[in-house]
Amino acid sequence: MINTLTSLLQAASISLSDQQKQQLVAYVGLLDKWNKAYNLTSVRDPQQMLVRHILDSIVVAPHLTGSRFIDVGTGPGLPGIPLAIVMPDAHFTLLDSLGKRVRFLRQVQHELGLTNIEPVQSRVEAFPAEPPFDGVISRAFASLTDMVNWCHHLPGAEGRFFALKGVRPDDEIAALPAGYVSQVVKLNVPRLEGDRHLVIIGREQACG
């Protein structure tokens, strides 16, 4: 599986250390093992997980700004765990409301020795951001308007929302509340069918 991951990384022009590659593959192994009992993801094939979960997560790393992030509705740790592995100097809070997912995240944290993640079981509306975060990340979590409304208390004044999306969500962008501006980055995910986009949202005064 390391060879498959290496070729995917080369195709995406991403350079990682051997240890980072081993951690990503070990994470896929744990996801595959726990998935049989906990139904954490609909993707069953570990080779497909490399494309649809690992690569799909880490291609956004160059576009993230700041060092403290929260991954809301992280599920089994996507994109937060792959990002934490490739961005060891940043810290990721992994937020999910389901206990079985958070138990899995703690197991991953223990087995991979990840010191820069903090799994938390909470609903996003009830989670206090103290201190506030540089970035709020979500993948397949909600509409952009819901993300901004539910998570408005999480980023600092200069903070950003980073939403991982499939097709370019122009209707959602048009429906954003007043006072927010967005930019859209088209992502390149080798061997993945369909479009991928990153929507970066900030408050107007912070981006102006």
pLDDT tens digits for range 170-192: 999 999 999 999 999 999 999 99
Q: Say what the pLDDT of residue 206 is.
A: 58
Structure tokens at 129: 């951001």
CA 16 to chain centre: 18
Q: Say what the pLDDT of residue 208 is.
A: 47
Matching residue, tokens 């097709």: 167
CB 69 within 8 A of CB 80: yes
Q: Say what the pLDDT of residue 57 is.
A: 98
Q: Is 10 left (phi over 0), alpha (psi -120 to 50) or beta?
A: alpha
Low-confidence stretches of the chain (pLDDT beneath 50)? 208
Rounded to an integer, what distance in angstroms lies between the CA atom of residue 20 and that of residue 180? 35
Matching residue, tokens 């951690």: 23
Report the sign of the C-alpha dihedral through residues 140, 141, 147, 151, in that order.
negative
Give pTM, 2 decimals. 0.96
Q: Say what the pLDDT of residue 207 is.
A: 56
